[in-house]
Amino acid sequence: MSCDFIALATAGVRGLTPYQPGKPVDELERELGISNIIKLASNENPMGPSEAALQAIRDGVKELTRYPDGNGFVLKQALSSSLAVDLEQITLGNGSNDVLDLIARAYLAPGDEAIFSQYAFAVYPISTQAVGATAVVTPAKEYGHDLDAMAEAITSKTRVIFIANPNNPTGTWLTKEQVDGFLVKVPESVLVVLDEAYFEYVGEAEYPDGIGYLEKYPNLIVTRTFSKAYGLASLRVGYSVSSPDIANILNRVRQPFNVNSLALAAAAAAVTDEEYLQESRSHNREGMAQLVEGLSGLDLSFVPSVGNFILVNFDKDALPIFESLLKKGVIVRPVGNYGLPNALRVSVGTKSENARFLDSLAEVL
Ligand SMILES: *Cc1c(COP(=O)(O)O)cnc(C)c1O
């Protein structure tokens, strides 16, 4: 009789359901034997990376035999000057998911509570559960975070609160006034993680820049990524900005070389490529308008989004629609795992990708 290796795992890990990624293009190609597939399932930047990032990667290839700089000095310096923060406040991660995980490992243990919202980003429950902490899920308000409910859920056991602004998969966002009104209520011993993965896309005047709150609220951690507006999802690089003490702690649990050298070089080049970022933004704005117009034309309801994706509501099980779209070579994202079985999340693609999605959807419905 062999050992039960499932039972040997820690209780938290045994209870985990793995993160469900968007379906890869290659996989659908193999399954259907078709080409010409479009993927609007993972909120990737349809423009591809900036030329400056690509050149940094080509240059970096020559040094692949070396370990990367474990401190990521060049990237931290680029971030430090562009964000006007100290190097000591920055923690680099293998994607910002890595940083979220570091926060959970460093600050959550069995018996501790982490608060996040219904419909919030799927990594919060996974990171919380993996370390055996207790997830406290507050009901959403119009698909977004109900900050009053989140503040009321704080107990003496609360250690971390995760907030995505804007939120994925709903695209909802919180204003300066809402965030400020919340932070002032949170005891300083409770860490607030403001996940700003789509920060660079948001143009709303009332949208807050989390980094601006760090001085007033030292218990705040702001996370951002190069996976979305910077178009470098494959390289896995993200970061947090926090008080130096929190960064010091995160650094103790961080793998020594968690960000590879090509990612470090590409991200450092991307930070200063303001032109690319502006182009990404306007490309996204046009694509979002195209999707909104097309969806409205089909009489579909959707949640207004400030990200590079939109949650579409079908008022019936959306899985058959997802599958019919797949057969037409269009990959979008089912969100049943978020408790939204009647919705699909669609990333903004290129103009022709958006048009193809809308045409395919019209045929399917
Ligand atoms: C995409 C996303 C992330 C980060 O992804 P990484 O690729 O790991 O940087 C983090 N939070 C939210 C809400 C996201 O949608």
Structure confidence by residue, pLDDT tens digits, 197-231 = 999 999 999 999 999 999 999 999 999 999 999 99
From 123, 165, 335, the mutation candidate for ligand 1 (largest count of ligand atoms within 8 A of CB) is: 123
pLDDT of residue 17: 84
Q: Are 108 and 88 in contact (CB under 8 A)?
A: no
pLDDT of residue 265: 98
Looking at every residue in the chain, the average pLDDT score rounds to 96
Integer Cα distance of 322 and 344 in angstroms: 7
Instruction: Mark which of 237, 272, 307 sits at the end of a domain.
Output: 272
Mean pLDDT for the stretch of residues 74-93: 98
Mean pLDDT for the stretch of residues 125-134: 96
pLDDT of residue 188: 96
Do residue 235 and residue 307 come from a single domain?
no
Mean pLDDT for the stretch of residues 139-150: 98
SS3 track for 207-268: CCCHHHHCCCCCCEEEEEECCCCCCCHHHCCEEEECCHHHHHHHHHHCCCCCCCHHHHHHHH
Do residue 288 and residue 339 come from a single domain?
yes
CB atoms within 10 A of CB 281: 16
Instruction: Mark which of 272, 289, 308 sits at the end of a domain.
Output: 272
Asked whether residue 173 carries a pLDDT value surpassing 90, the answer given is: yes
Do residue 124 and residue 204 come from a single domain?
yes
pLDDT of residue 23: 84
Integer Cα distance of 359 and 293 in angstroms: 13
- In sequence order, what are the beta bridge partners of 349? none
Do residue 265 and residue 335 come from a single domain?
no
Residue whose CA lies nearest to ligand 1 atom number 10: 197
| DSSP H/E element including 341 | none
Token pair listed for 185: 């209520």
Do residue 24 and residue 146 come from a single domain?
no
Do residue 93 and residue 190 come from a single domain?
yes
Q: What amino acid occupies position 134? A: T
Percent of all residues in the chain with a pLDDT value above 70, rounded to a whole number? 100
Asked whether residue 1 carries a pLDDT value surpassing 80, the answer given is: no
Backbone angles phi, psi at 321, to 5 degrees: -70, -45
Lowest mean pLDDT among 5-19, 142-156, 345-359: 5-19
Do residue 266 and residue 207 come from a single domain?
yes
Instruction: Give the CATH number of the domain where residue 322 resides.
Output: 3.90.1150.10
Residue whose CA lies nearest to ligand 1 atom number 4: 96
pLDDT of residue 35: 85
Do residue 73 and residue 138 come from a single domain?
yes
Do residue 93 and residue 229 come from a single domain?
yes
User: Measuring from each residue's beta carbon to the nearest atom of ligand 1, which residues come in under 6 Å?
Assistant: 43, 95-97, 121, 164, 168, 195, 197, 225, 227-228, 233, 238
Do residue 159 and residue 213 come from a single domain?
yes
Instruction: Give the CATH number of the domain where residue 182 resides.
Output: 3.40.640.10
Q: How many domains does the chain have?
A: 2
Do residue 211 and residue 94 come from a single domain?
yes
Structure confidence by residue, pLDDT tens digits, 279-290 = 999 999 999 999
pLDDT band at 87 (very low <50, low <70, confident <90, very high): very high
Instruction: Mark which of 272, 287, 304 sits at the end of a domain.
Output: 272
Query: Which residue range forms the structural domain that includes residue 324?
Result: 5-48+275-364
Do residue 255 and residue 281 come from a single domain?
no
